[in-house]
Copies of this chain bind each other. A is one copy, B any other.
Amino acid sequence: MKRTTIYDLAKLADSSPGTVSAVLHGDWRKRRISVSLAERIRDLAKETGYAINMQASALRKERSGIIGMIVPMYDNRYFSTIAQQFEQEARARELFPIVTCTSRDPVLEEKAARQMVAYRVEHLICTGATDPDRLSDICAPHGVRTTNLDLPGGKATSIISDNFAGAHALTERLLGRIDRTDGTAPTLLFVGGRASDHCTTERVRGFTTATASGGIAVPTHDLLTCGYAAPKAKASLDEYLARAARPPDGIFVNSTTSLEGVLNWAAALAAPERDSLAMVCFDWDPFVAALGGHVTMVKQNVTEMIRRVFAIVDSPETLAVELIEIPPQIVDGPCR
């Protein structure tokens, strides 16, 4: 399998590799190559099915033209939208996007970052990384700039949602949907996420601040930060039910990933209890919007987040480390 190279083309066109390269990829204007030669070369390239070898090009230019992103997973509307819009913006800049998912696993994240470095990405976007600073440390010595998305770090600019404000507003919606006609205080739960990550702590803070304003004290053991995975959320609620005897009045769910588990859990409840259960979720999903009239959601502003990411990517100098918070948007369900 012999692939056509610029040498083959040069020979065929009775020209030289340098000229072929200039015609096909470089700015041949500067070299004032004759139009006829340029055309001949382009025709030959088409005929022979020539394709540039980016490996060789990148090696020589010391620029890969690749931009990398790591995300925890794809099968979640928030992250999949992030990946999709990232690719779109990257392509608009003639960059080759490579995105890889790391299952919120620090070991995989590190491995992925090293791979990205090995492939000489020009910039790495670390989305929802468990330890963003570790990734910055891996990349920095190789001149690979990093930007954090969704979860902040201290060594690179971070673009995240305003988790506190979003959670606060969402909690107010939750409180507004609970009517305790008997005057007793409602029981409320926070479910999902990791106590160690910034999103979760801020959302918990928004939740507890809003509940406190409403005169409700949620005990710490009702903040079920059991991880994001659906089965964990479900198990955590099963456990709660075992100890509390009856379901809560309202649940604040941290991410649609956890919501999956919460809904599975709720499906097993008796109809009256299930139907009186109020729920809000930090993250949006179209099917929940269409079918879950009882669930109010917060939609993070992915478009704006990605826009800000590329403002950094585009800027030539390294900017000061910053924390940029983007307001999310409350989306009420159809409330059937």
What is A's interface to B at a CB cutoff of 8 Å?
A: 1, 3, 49, 51-56, 58-59, 64, 73-77, 80-81, 83-84, 87, 96-101, 114-115, 117-120, 141-143, 230, 256, 259-260, 263-264, 267, 285-288, 290-292, 334, 336
Contact = CB atoms under 8 A, between A and B. Distances in A.
Contact of A54 (B118, B267, B292): B118
A120 B53 contact: yes
Contact of A291 (B53, B75, B117, B288): B288
A118 B264 CA distance: 46
Nearest to A119: B54
B84 A142 contact: no
Within the oligomer, what is the number of copies of this chain? 2
Given A101-B84, A118-B53, A141-B49, A287 B260 contact: yes
A265 B76 CA distance: 23
Contact of A64 (B55, B117, B143, B256): B55
Contacts of A114: 51
Contacts of A52: 118
A68 to B, nearest CB: 10
A122 to B, nearest CB: 12
Contacts of A119: 54-55, 96
A75 B73 contact: no
